[in-house]
Amino acid sequence: MSNETFLYDRPIKKDYDFNMWFFFPGPESFAMSSLGYLWLYRAIDILDGIDIERVYSDTKTTRIMRDKINAIAMSFTFDMDFMAIFKFLEWNKFALKAKDRNEDDPIIFAGGPVISSNPEPYKEIFDFMVIGDGEEVNLEATKLCHQLKDKPKSEILLELSKMEGVYVPTITKKVTKFTKKLTECIYTPIISDSAFFQNTFILEVERGCANRCGFCLASYLNLPIRFVDYDKIIETIELGLKHTNKIALLGAQITAHPKFKDICKYIEQKIDAGQEIDMSVSSLRVDSFVPEIVNTLVKAGQKNLTLAIEAGSERLRKVINKNLTEDQIYNAIDVARACGLKGIKFYGMIGLPTETQEDIEEIVNLSKRIKQKYKGFDINFGFSTFVPKANTPFQWFGREDEKSLEKKSNYLKKELHKLGIQISISSAKWDYYQALLSRGDDNLTDYVIEVYKQGGKLGAFKKVAKEMKINTDYYATENYPYEKPLPWDFVEIKPGKEFLIEESKRLVSQ
């Protein structure tokens, strides 16, 4: 039994007339470290009249009986989450497609980055989907379902379809992504010892990243970058410190916060005054490898720092919009060493648009130069392979073929091992199917259902494609012309498709 501390006043509810499950497609430990999931849960948990239960992929029995459920909300963050979602639906004897469910069955809806970027492969599964920042839309949609609970489903869905950020596949023709103003600092409202990041208080400092790397969904789904007020952040940190000494600051470009140094100074002063604080940050950009920031993080217990350089050559880093020079990389290492760190981890990507063998060799050459310049300093690499994501400037570029990616991976493994550098590379085979889903359309719904039925392993993806005559290369590896209508064009996300085309052309012409 896990130990949970609630950081908010839970109303004592006696009279519910609406029951919900909130499903997380992963184990409890991950759910309890998921800021978005827990915050959305809290928002509904404090409402009158609604009983909501958290349900995970490893939940064995539920407190609320299946037949009493009025609505099921689901978080959909990773492409492969569909497996856990289908398993959960089938386990509870709900048909996978909305049209095959009865009037008495609950309304089933989902939200999250996968859905916001391209909901098309799942349009027959959910009654409705939330496009964009979920906090307000999720809450308002739930309230509406509660309010109209005695009406026919079709009437409820019609009302939902009028809300900004709600996509009802049977009704909506165009949907605009909902973008929230960050007027509050969201945090993990429950601290749990069963969480993956045990007893850690996570808070959001900013949302989005203004760097706009051509492949990056986290950036393009969350434009413009938004910052939480400094005072609200400090107030929230103080709330967390009343319950735990482990604090994690979250945001895709956290150090872009105009007062990030002040936040670090605030924490450092507390540590210097004798308070035990363990603080970590989700990521650092190269321009934040400055002593004021790195010193605080080291003092606050952060052992490893990572730097996403993405590509070995400056040319390719320009193509992806990561304008990072070699001198900036050296400067980051200088600061890390001066602050007492023994090593650094680099993140990179292979198979990026316009990449050549010279770009790959440049990763090795850069590593040699670093090793020579910083004897005894540890560097290691984590690579993933490029996956085109809908609603980014690189959505028109297919993946490189598997053989060539494997050749590049083997070359990097061999050459970097010779330099004593540890390296890990994501599976090109799985990344291929991720690309297929990211650029998928509604022809893939029956395909993913069958893949699930056949066990969801790599072999099943391949076998089912053959059986159903699905040309997986069309989705994963083909380049698309800019004029081609895309299945997700009906999702309006600022700055819009015209901008993405311009940006895409500008980037690859460098």
Of 346, 358, 363, which is closest to residue 312 (Cα–Cα)? 363
Q: How far is the CB of 308 from ligand SF4 (least distance, A)?
A: 6
Q: Does 288 bind ligand SF4 (CB under 6 A)?
A: no
Of 139, 144, 218, 271, the one binding ligand SF4 (CB under 6 A) is 218
Closest distance to ligand SF4 from the beta carbon of 321 (Å): 7
Q: Map the footprint of ligand SF4 across residues 308-367, applying CB under 6 A.
A: 308, 322
Strand partners, 425: 383
Closest to ligand SF4 by CB, 31 vs 308, is 308
Q: Assess 216 for contact with ligand SF4 (CB under 6 A).
A: yes
Binding-site member from 7, 205, 213, 464 for ligand SF4 (CB under 6 A): 213
219 binds ligand SF4 (CB under 6 A): yes
Closest to ligand SF4 by CB, 317 or 399: 317
Q: Where are the beta strands (DSSP E) in 168-282?
A: 175-176, 190-192, 200-204, 206-207, 226-227, 246-250, 278-281
Nearest residue (CB) to ligand SF4, 153 versus 317: 317
Report the site for ligand SF4 in 223-282 (rule: CB under 6 A). Answer: 252-253
Considering only residues 396 to 425 of the shown chain, the ones binding ligand SF4 according to CB under 6 A are none
Shortest distance, position 150 Cβ to ligand SF4, whole Å: 45
> What are the tokens at 37?
């999931």
Q: Which is nearer to ligand SF4, 186 or 324 (CB)?
A: 324
Smallest Cα–Cα separation from 408: which of 430, 388, 435, 383?
A: 383
Q: Is 145 helix (H, G, I), strand (E, B) or coil?
A: helix
Report the nearest approach of ligand SF4 to the CB of residue 252 (Å): 4
In angstroms, what is the minimal distance from the CB of 281 to ligand SF4? Answer: 13
User: For residue 298, what is the enclosing H or E element?
Assistant: helix 291-299
Candidates 147-155, 216-224, 327-335, 420-428; binding stretch for ligand SF4 (CB under 6 A):
216-224
Which residue lies nearer to ligand SF4 by CB, 190 or 308? 308
Question: Cα separation of 389 and 215, whole Å?
Answer: 7
Instruction: Give the amino acid at 397.
Output: F
Task: Name the minimum Å distance from CB 280 to ligand SF4.
Answer: 17
**Residue closer to ligand SF4 (CB basis): 166 or 435:** 435
Q: With contacts defined by CB under 6 A, name the span among 54-62, 100-108, 205-213, 474-482 that binds ligand SF4.
A: 205-213
Going 42 to 44 to 45 to 48, the CA torsion angle's sign is positive
Q: Is 130 in the site for ligand SF4 (CB under 6 A)?
A: no
**Mask for 150-189, x = binds ligand SF4 (CB under 6 A):** ----------------------------------------
Nearest 5°: CA angle at 306, between 303 and 311? 160
Between 70 and 255, whose beta carbon lies closer to ligand SF4? 255
Task: Label residue 356 exposed, middle or buried (CB < 10 Å: 0-12, 13-18, 19+).
Answer: exposed
Report the residue from 33, 70, 179, 211 that binds ligand SF4 according to the rule CB under 6 A. 211
DSSP 3-state of 337:
helix
Tell me how far, at minimum, the Cβ of 208 lies from ligand SF4, in Å. 8
| Rounded CA separation 34/38 (Å) | 6
Measured distance CA(119)–CA(391) in Å, rounded:
12
Could you write out the DSSP letters of every residue in 421-472?
-EEEE--HHHHHHHHHHHT--GGGHHHHHHHHHTTSSHHHHHHHHHHHT--H
Phi, psi of 81 (to 5 degrees): -60, -20
Strands of 278-281's sheet in order across: 200-204, 246-250, 278-281
* Site residues, ligand SF4 (CB under 6 A): 209, 211-213, 216, 218-219, 252-253, 308, 322
